């Protein structure tokens, strides 16, 4: 079995297991503040995550409004991917609470409402791009007509229409990233969680993808994106900076720059990323 097929199987198995385990265990207390629920699509409160003795996330608090593009920045290994996996319902926090659309995560009933794009492409290499989209569309409960229509739309967006019938094992790394993005938005979820979605994608296509993300945000879709591309960080409505498992700064790009007296988000990234962790 090809490596990318194994990744796809592992991803699906991991996500289903996490969701089903959550489904058959008692639910966390729901968020009782209706005003907060109406304002924020994603709420994270005092989230900690341990992997064995390793403390990966430390008292994370985060609130993301509906229809916002929210950027999560930080050096490699700071905990960004673990954080977005908890929000997407793939991992469960060791302590604390994470809510999406007013419901505690992970939550089986929200599986069709969250589009998740991982750093590792969850694709079946022996299948064509179209067959991958058909498979994932069926998982999300889409009918054949919906899958066909949306496949045409998303493949045009990521500039892969001519490659619909090509086996994914023949795709380059950048093409696989583009197909993974197409799969994340295939079912038009109200929440998108994108972990470094434009790595390996050329600048012109990145511009088109960000234009689409803005369109989705205007339509009310809430988008959480991790990135190391500073011009993308500037495109986010709000940002949070992470360091050693902690959120150390939050605000707009302009606010983060103004707070420390620098002239670019890249300078802010270097400044915040270099701060020593108190723990």
Does any domain span residue 223?
Answer: yes
Does any domain span residue 18?
Answer: yes
Does any domain span residue 252?
Answer: yes
**Stretch 150-160: mean pLDDT:** 95
Predicted local confidence at residue 71, as pLDDT? 96
Does any domain span residue 162?
Answer: no
Q: How many domains does the chain have?
A: 1
* Least confidently predicted of 133-142, 233-242, 261-270: 261-270
DSSP state of 236: S
Does any domain span residue 238?
Answer: yes
Predicted local confidence at residue 199, as pLDDT? 82
Predicted local confidence at residue 30, as pLDDT? 45
**Of 245 and 23, which is predicted with more confidence?**
245
Question: What's the N-to-C CA distance of the chain in angstroms?
Answer: 43
> For the domain that residue 268 is a member of, what is the CATH number?
3.40.50.300
* Residues 181 and 158 sit within 8 Å (Cβ to Cβ): yes
14-31 burial, b if ≥16 CB within 10 A, otherwise e? ebeebbeebeeeeebeeb
| Residue 19 pLDDT class (50, 70, 90 cuts) | very low
Does any domain span residue 253?
Answer: yes
Does any domain span residue 28?
Answer: yes
Q: What is the tens place of the pLDDT at every residue in 72-130?
A: 998 888 999 999 999 999 999 999 999 999 999 998 888 889 999 998 888 999 999 99
Tell me: pLDDT of 247 over 90: yes
Element (H, E) at 195: strand 191-195
How far apart are the C-alpha atoms of 276 and 12, rounded to whole Å?
37
How far apart are the C-alpha atoms of 266 and 257, rounded to whole Å?
9
User: What is the span of the domain harbouring residue 20?
Assistant: 3-122+189-273
| Residue 270 pLDDT class (50, 70, 90 cuts) | confident
pTM of the model: 0.84
Structure tokens at 101: 């659309």
226 in helix, strand or coil? strand
**Of 172 and 277, which is predicted with more confidence?**
172
């Amino acid at each position: 079995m090809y490596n990318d097929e194994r990744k796809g199987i592992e991803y699906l198995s991991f996500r289903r297991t996490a969701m089903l385990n959550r489904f058959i265990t008692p639910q966390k207390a729901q968020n009782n503040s209706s005003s907060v629920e109406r304002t924020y699509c994603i709420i994270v409160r005092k989230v900690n995550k341990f992997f064995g003795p390793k403390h990966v996330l430390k008292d994370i608090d985060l609130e993301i409004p509906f229809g916002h593009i929210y950027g999560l920045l930080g050096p490699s290994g700071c905990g960004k991917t673990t954080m977005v996996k908890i929000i997407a319902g793939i991992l469960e926090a060791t302590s604390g609470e994470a809510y999406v659309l007013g419901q505690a995560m992970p939550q089986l009933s929200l599986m069709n409402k969250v589009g998740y794009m991982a750093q590792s492409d969850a694709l079946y290499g022996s299948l064509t791009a179209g067959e991958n989209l058909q498979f994932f569309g069926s998982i999300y409960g889409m009918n054949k007509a919906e899958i066909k229509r949306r496949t045409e739309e998303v493949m045009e967006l990521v500039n892969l229409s001519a490659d619909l019938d090509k086996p994914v094992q023949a795709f380059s790394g950048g093409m696989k990233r583009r197909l993974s993005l197409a799969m994340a938005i295939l079912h038009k979820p109200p929440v998108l969680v994108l972990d470094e979605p434009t790595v390996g994608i050329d600048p012109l296509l990145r511009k088109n993808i960000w234009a689409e993300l803005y369109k989705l945000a205007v339509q009310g879709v809430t988008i959480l994106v991790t990135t190391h591309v500073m011009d993308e960080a500037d495109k986010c409505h709000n940002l949070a900076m992470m360091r050693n498992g902690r959120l150390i700064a939050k605000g707009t790009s302009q606010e983060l720059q103004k707070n420390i007296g620098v002239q670019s988000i890249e300078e802010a990234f270097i400044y915040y990323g270099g701060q020593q962790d108190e723990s």
